[in-house]
Amino acid sequence: MADTATVGPPARVVRRQLIRITTSAFTYLALTVFGLVFAFPLFYAISTSLKSSAELRQVPPTLIAQVMHWDNYVRFYVLEPMTLRWFANTLLVIAMSVPGGVLTAILVAYGFARFEFPLRDFWFMVLLSTLMLPNEVTLIPLYILFHSLGWVNTYLPLIVPAWFGGGAFSIFFIRQFFMTLPRELDDAARIDGANSFQILWRVLVPLSGPVIMSLFIFGFFAGWNDFFGPLIYLNSRQLYTMSLGLNEYRVAPGYREKSRWRRLSSWTPRSNLRPSAPPAPARHSAAPSSGARRRFRRIADRRRSR
């Protein structure tokens, strides 16, 4: 019997494998580079939070703190004991509003995607047109409504509206995903005896995990970054969210400018989801409460005595 020679893979297969490996290597390299670029602001924020006041204002700035001042984090809580309460208030508002927004958006999107009713497309276009409506247009009517209901200086204006549809973008986002799911799934479930709600919760929702998680992430970011809503409806300092609290600390009287920014930078790594707060209006900065003035005066006197 003649010996059979070992035949290797064709050159074309080897070439394809080489191209695939090279492409994967360049892809991972590009993702690593872009990941480092996008992570650099967070790294610099952490480094800045550990700097001294002098190093914080040094030109050119240093990339890594020469001396790690871990006490910046402790002093922030000592100077402002309400920080943890503001943090808890923010999480409370998010936990009470985001699930309601996602839940009601799913129900409304299901109606637009799977049911036929008169003027369905017209009402959907009206819904999309509200995306072009600035929030400032509805600010005064909403404030008058919530004030007449006695909701001002409570979390209800920040929570209850989310339970009425979740916003036009959320409805549009889920509706477009539902439209990509074949109706044969609905027909098969209906043959098995499922009603409309069972089809939604047992067929469509389990298949919509990625889009639902995306809405939860968007809702968390929106609730964490919200500055304008709490600014309008919250007056009590104990009800402040993190955005209002950090802004008050930024403009609070009695702190030296360099110390203020040094302490404020210690919170930046933990609040990097929130953009820079706009300048505080007069009712929060120009007329602080008497208790706040006395506390800031004691801190200033204590610092001068050192």
CA neighbor of 127 nearest in space, from 167, 160, 162: 167
Helix (H) or strand (E) holding 71: helix 71-79
The Cα-based distances of 147 to 135, 142, 264 in angstroms read 17, 8, 33
Length of the chain: 306
Report helix, strand or coil for 296: helix
Helix (H) or strand (E) holding 20: helix 11-49
**Model pTM?**
0.69
Distance CA(222)–CA(273), nearest Å, equals: 9
Amino acid at 102: V
Distance CA(239)–CA(245), nearest Å, equals: 9
Half-sphere exposure of 89 (CA within 13 A, CB side): 23
CB atoms within 10 A of CB 164: 11
Residue 216's contacts (CB-CB under 8 Å, 6 or more residues apart) are 98, 102
* 36 exposure class (CB count in 10 Å sphere: 0-12, 13-18, 19+): exposed
CA neighbor of 170 nearest in space, from 101, 227, 217, 222: 101
For the chain, give every domain's residue range. 49-79+241-306, 90-233
Domain 90-233 has CATH 1.10.3720.10: yes
The answer to whether the CB of 242 falls within 8 A of the CB of 167 is no
Tens digits of per-residue pLDDT, 77-127? 776 678 888 889 999 999 999 999 999 999 999 999 999 999 999 999 999
- Could you read off the pLDDT tens digit of each residue along the chain, which spans 306 residues? 455 555 556 777 788 888 889 999 999 999 999 999 999 988 888 888 888 778 877 888 888 888 887 877 777 677 667 888 888 999 999 999 999 999 999 999 999 999 999 999 999 999 999 988 888 888 899 999 999 999 999 999 999 999 998 889 999 999 999 999 999 999 999 999 999 999 999 999 999 999 999 999 999 999 998 988 999 999 888 899 988 887 876 655 544 454 455 555 555 555 554 444 333 333 444 344 455 455 555 655 655 565
